[in-house]
Amino acid sequence: MSVRFYRKGILVSEVECFQSLNLLAHAQMEEVETGSECGGHGRCGKDRIWIPEEDRKKLNAPTFPETRLLSIEMIDSGWRLACQTFPALDGMQITVKFDAD
């Protein structure tokens, strides 16, 4: 199972899923551009990703930096920061989008 990255509905990369790595690190393994400007320190808010509803329960709860950098409405509708988001287990199938389409 894997983390699959989609941009504008098109699969751009697929990488093995590791519980110990955040989704920014998964993207970086395949050189998928996320927009990160702070190197994954939870400060820039530029690495926004959107997770389909069926996959949200496979991730950690939103972190303090996410509650500071994203609105409650964004979090409730599936937006996360890649550097703050971790798979709950190894080997999960997770879809990551850079837009909510």
The residue ranges that bind ligand FES (CB under 6 A) are: 24, 36-38, 40, 42-47, 81, 83
Nearer to ligand FES, 9 or 20 (CB): 20
**CB contact burial 48-68 (16+ within 10 A = b; e otherwise):** bbbbeeebeebbeebbebbee
The distance of closest approach from Cβ of residue 42 to ligand FES in the complex, given in angstroms and rounded to an integer, is: 5
Q: Please, what is the minimum distance in Å from the beta carbon of residue 76 to ligand FES?
A: 19
User: Which C-beta is closer to ligand FES: that of 51 or that of 81?
Assistant: 81
Determine the distance from the C-alpha atom of residue 42 to the mean position of all C-alpha atoms in its chain, rounded to a whole number. 13
Tokens linked to 50: 């959107």
